[in-house]
Amino acid sequence: MSWTGHFHGYGPWIGPPDAYHREGDRRPPHPDPPAPPASDDDKTAMRVVRRYREVTAEFLVSDLPPMMSGHWLMKRTRASAERTWTDPVAALDWLTKHFLDHPPMEREDGRPVYAGLDAKRGYALAVLPVGVDVSWVYYNRSGNLVSLNMVCCPNLHHPELICPLT
């Protein structure tokens, strides 16, 4: 497989698990808006239209990680030239720095909870050069979730999304 592009770093997002688990807030709005209610009495249709408007307004500016890593490219205000690399090793160094700054939780018996940093780095170094996104999501020592993402641009799974820095 041949891929040429660059990498955008997103995160770290650190927050409560209940915010991260609200999947509806982590999905972009559907391209086809819902039909307007047939009457003012149609409360369900009005609620759907209201929710669609909320998602449309919030998704693009929210720092909440999207369900699909490639959808970060839609959040143009979250991209930064300082977090954009052409070298996968430099991109991985950024991920590693933030991982070390926000270490994962530890088990009481001392056994690992997650794959070790060496395994994470090895996987990332294998897949980033061929255009595969990398997401590291884990619980930290305070019980919050940490999300670190490296998104390939152009994105193999979302080729229609343009670079947020253009």
Q: pLDDT by residue (tens digit) across 71-114?
A: 999 999 999 999 999 999 999 999 999 999 999 999 999 888 99
User: 115-128: per-residue pLDDT in tens?
Assistant: 999 999 999 999 99
Percent of the chain, pLDDT > 90?
Answer: 77
Strands 134-139 and 84-85: unpaired
Unique residue bearing structure tokens 């890593």:
69
The model's pTM is 0.89
CA dist 73 → 68, 149, 161 (Å): 10, 11, 7
Judge whether 78 lies within some domain: yes
- How many angstroms separate the CA atoms of 11 and 153, rounded? 16
Judge whether 60 lies within some domain: no
Whether the pLDDT of residue 51 is over 90: the answer is: no
Q: What share of the chain is helix, strand, coil (3-state, %, to 5)?
A: 40, 15, 45
- Which two tokens mark 14? 């650190």
Give mean pLDDT, residues 38-61: 86
Total domains in the chain come to 1
Containing structural domain, residue 142: 6-21+68-153
- What per-residue confidence (pLDDT) applies to 24? 86
Judge whether 74 lies within some domain: yes
Report helix, strand or coil for 64.
Answer: coil
Q: Which amino acid is at 104?
A: P
Confidence band (pLDDT; 50, 70, 90) for 48? confident
- Which two tokens mark 65? 């990680």
